[in-house]
Amino acid sequence: METIQTHAAGPQGELPLSDTMLREWSSGDLFGLTQNAGMGWSPQELLGPQYLILSTQGGVRAPDGTPIALGYHTGHWEVGLLVQAAAREIKSLGGVPFAGHVSDPCDGRTQGTVGMFDSLPYRNDAAVVLRRLIRSLPQRQGIVGVATCDKGLPAMMLALAGTSQFPSVIVPGGVTLPPSEGEDAGKVQTIGARYVQGEMSLHDAAVAGCAACATPGGGCQFLGTAATSQVIAEALGMALPHSALAPSGQPIWLDLATRSARAVHQLATRKLALKDILTEKSLHNAMVVHAACGGSTNLLLHVPAIAHAAGLRRPTSADWSDINRRVPRFVSVLPNGPVAHPTVRMFLAGGVPEIMLHLRNLKLLELDALTVTGHTWGDVLDWWERSSRRQMVRQVLQERDRVQPDDVIIPPAEAKHRGLTSTVCFPHGNICPEGSVIKATSIDPVVVDADGVYRKTGPARVFTSERDAIKAVKGQTPQPIKPGDILVLIGRGPMGSGMEETYQITSALKFLKWGREVAVVTDARFSGVSTGACIGHVGPEALAGGPIGKVQDGDIIQIIVDRNNLEGTVNWIGDGVNTYTPEQGALVLAARLPRADLFPDKDLPADTRLWAALQRVGGGTWGGCVYDVDKIIATLAAGEAALAKP
C-alpha cells in the first residue's frame, strides 16, 4: 500500500506555445501537445511534422524476441521491429512519429474452421478502422503502413488508397525462411489428409509440422495471397523498389523500414501524395506483374477494391483476361513452379524490379508511372539494372543456395521453352453464367492433353459444407471422393460462408497421389497457394439463385480449359441418364428448383451476413467485395420508399 501514488510532479519544462497557437489552434491540437509531453516526448521537439506509422502487429515479444503472448501468425509477429526502425528515422529527420496497429487473422490458422467466415469480411473492417485512425491524427503529414499477410496487407493498401491525399509508403513485412530440411508451410497444411490416407507416418507428420516455419516472422514461403499482395504493393508503386519478399528479421529487411520512412518524408517535402502514384497506369503495371509471376487469384478481389478506394475504375474480369493473354508467366516459385523455389529466392533473384526489367523489354509496362521514390518506373529500372544491390542479392542466391537467378526469374523466351503457361482463365458456362476463375497454370500437366487443353467430364459429388467435403476427400465417409469425381462445393460464397477459402480441400488433392484426377467447382474462393483443376468464384453464387445451387449428386459436369488461349467452359451436360448439349443443359437447370439443403451456414456470424449484403450491392465478388456507399444508400432509400407504399 505504501507504494501507491495518488499524484505525480508531471513533465518538466514548457510547451512550445505561441500567441498565435493559443488564439487559433483547436483545443484538440493544444491538448495533443499535452498528451505528447505526458507520454515522455521532449517538449522542445513537439512541433515537428507528425507522421503516422500503422501496422498489423500481433502478439507480445520480449526485448530478446522470445514470446510473451503469441500472435495469430508469423506474418505480424516481427513487424513491430519495422515500426521502431521507421520511427527512429522519422525522429532523426525532425519529425514526430506516432504508431498504431490493427492486427490481422491468419487464413492458415482458420482453414476448415468457422474462423474462415470472418476472413474476407475482415479486410473491409480493418481498412475502415485504419482509415479512422489516419483521420484521428489531425496533423499527420504522411503515413507509413507496415503489413505482411493475406488480409492485413490488402486492408492497409485499401486504407492508404482511401486517404490518398497524403504521402504514404507501404513496408511489406517480408517472408519466413523455409527449413533447411522439411516441408514448406503450404505442403505442411496437408499432413492430416496424407496421414489419414496412409501416405505419411504419425512421426513424419509431427516433425514436418514442427519445422515448416523456420524463422519466427514474415509471410509464408510460397507465392500465395500474402506474398502476392507484397508484390502487388511494390508493382503499384506504393512500396520501395525491391522491398517485397525480403527475409524477415534480417538487416536487409529492417533497412527497408528506415528507407521507407525517409521516402515518406521526401514525398511530403516534394508535396507528392499517394494519389500521384496510384493511377490507371500503376494498376496496369500491377496486373501485368501479377500475370508474369503467376500470383494468387485472391488479388482479383483485392486489386479492384484498391482501385475503388482510390477513385479509379475497377478492372473487370475482361481486363484481367486480356492481360493474362498478353503477358507470359516466367517466374518459377512455390506453389506453381515448375521448380518449387521459396519466395525468398524470388527476392534474391531480383524480385519485382527484375520481373519488370523483362516486362520492359516486352514493352508491357507503363514506364512513366511514379513510385514512392518520387521517380518513375523507367528511372527505377535504369537504376536497378546497374545497381550494386542487384549484383549482391543475385550473388547471394548463387553462393548460398547454388541456384542461378535466371532459373527463378526466367527470361521469358526460355520460360516458354520450359513449358510455363499464362496464369488466370475465366471459364463461363451454364453452371457459371457470370463467370468463374481458375489458375490455369496450376493444373497438373499430367492431366492436360498434348494440345494444352484440360478436358474433364465426370460425375458431380455435391457438398454444401466444407467439413463434409474434406471428410470425403480423407475417405472418412461411406462414399469417399475417388479419382474421376468432380467435387462441387456450393453455398460457400459471400452469402453462405463469407466466401471462405477452401485450401484444406485443394491442398489435400494436390498432395494425395490420386488428387490430380479430381476437379473442384465452387462458389467459394481458394487460398493463393491452391493448385490443381480448381474452379472458384462461380457466379452467381448458389444462394443468389445461381445454377450451381441446383446441381445434384451424379449429374455429369464437363470442364474444358485451354491453357494456351486462356479460354474455358464449365457446363452441366447430363443427369446420369440423359445427355444434353450445354444449351439444353441450361434450360434443364433453369427448370429445376434449388437444392433443399441449400442454406447459409448455421454458424455464419451476423457481422458477415451484413458484409455479404453490403458488398453484393457494391458489385459483388467481381467488383472486389467493396462498400460502394452511394449505391448502398440509394438501395436503402429505394427499399424504404417501397416499404412506405400502401
Q: What is the pLDDT of residues 574-589, one digit of tens each?
A: 998 999 999 999 999 9
High-pLDDT (> 90) share of the chain, %: 85
Mean pLDDT of the chain: 94
pLDDT at residue 419 in the model: 87
Highest mean pLDDT of the ranges 334-338, 385-389, 433-437: 385-389
- pLDDT tens digits, 282-308: 999 999 999 999 999 999 999 999 999
Which three cell numbers, joined as nine digits, stand for 412? 521469358
To the nearest 10 degrees (0 to 180), the angle between helices 280-293 and 225-235 is: 140
pLDDT at residue 496 in the model: 94
Highest mean pLDDT of the ranges 10-19, 105-114, 386-395, 529-538: 386-395
pTM above 0.85, yes or no: yes
* Residue 91 reports pLDDT greater than 70: yes
Which three cell numbers, joined as nine digits, stand for 314? 475497377
Q: Catalytic residues, which ones?
A: 527
Write the DSSP string, 83-129: HHHHHHHHHHTT-EEEEEE-----HHHHTTSGGGGGHHHHHHHHHHH
Cα separation, 104 vs 57, in Å, equals 8
Q: What is the average per-residue pLDDT within 238-252? A: 97
* CB 551 within 8 Å of CB 464: no
- Nearest Cα residue to 268 out of 140, 130, 379: 140
Cα separation, 59 vs 64, in Å, equals 14
* Residue 528 reports pLDDT greater than 70: no
pLDDT at residue 530 in the model: 65
The DSSP bridge pattern shows strands 534-539 and 435-439 to be antiparallel
Cα separation, 234 vs 285, in Å, equals 10
* CB 497 within 8 Å of CB 522: no
Cα separation, 606 vs 612, in Å, equals 10
* CB 453 within 8 Å of CB 484: no
Cα separation, 261 vs 91, in Å, equals 10
Residue 531 — pLDDT band, cuts 50, 70, 90? low
- pLDDT tens digits, 349-403: 999 999 999 999 999 999 999 999 999 999 999 999 999 999 999 999 999 999 9
Residue 529 — pLDDT band, cuts 50, 70, 90? low
Q: What is the average per-residue pLDDT within 153-157? A: 98
